[in-house]
Amino acid sequence: MGKMKGQSVKRTILISALALVVLILVGGCSFLQQKGPELTNWEPVLSPDGTRIAFESPGEKGFEIYIRDLESGITTQLTQNEVDDWAPSWSPQGDRLVFSSSHEKNVDLYIIVLETLTVNRLTTHEGDDVNPFWGTNGKILFNSNRSGAWEIYMSAPDGTGLTKITETAESS
């Protein structure tokens, strides 16, 4: 009798597990299909004087660059276009930002002058240029796959003096 009862319990567990698998396959598992929260107010960077934060957040048609004044709480949208702009980095003087943007089906670096909101393209290579960082020496460091591998490059803000900093075996 105990042996039959054990087989019955095993059979019930097996049927329940099989029904659960079928339910997941047919109806989907909402737990597995959950999306995380929308990326908003992303990649914050503090201005050199500590009074403002630059960041990206969704705009009407893509990610845009914003700044927020920490004292007043006022947020200002700096870019507005149909492509993604991201990864802002402050100039040492705090008067400009360099950022990545996916214009013309390519990712390049751009600089925006905060006083006029004038945007100038810094890089023009067909490779992708991302992760800009404006160093205290006034040079802009960034990653690029222009050599066939991801490397670190450095450039002056006017685009002159482009220097490849790293060399991996793949790009040699």
CATH assignment, 42-171 = 2.120.10.30
Calpha distance 142→144 (Å, rounded): 7
DSSP β-bridge partners for residue 75 = 68
Of residues 114 and 1, more confidently modeled: 114
With 0-12 CB in 10 A as exposed, 13-18 as middle and 19+ as buried, what is 90? buried
pLDDT at 128: 97
The answer to whether 56 and 87 have CB atoms below 8 angstroms apart is: yes
Say what the pLDDT of residue 39 is: 82
Tell me: the pLDDT tens digits for 62-104? 999 999 999 999 999 999 999 999 999 999 999 999 999 998 8
At 122 the pLDDT is 97
43-53 b/e (C-beta count within 10 Å ≥ 16 → b): bebebeeeebb
Going by C-alpha positions, the residue among 118, 126, 102, 121 that lies closest to residue 110 is 121
In 3D space, the residue among 52, 118, 43, 53 whose CA is nearest the CA of residue 85 turns out to be 43
Stronger pLDDT, 48 or 34, i.e. the higher one: 48
Question: What is the C-alpha to C-alpha distance for residues 13 and 95, in angstroms, rounded to an integer?
Answer: 67
Percentage of the chain with pLDDT > 70? 77
Q: Where are the domains of the chain?
A: 2-33, 42-171
Q: CA-to-CA distance for 151 and 140, rounded, in angstroms?
A: 14
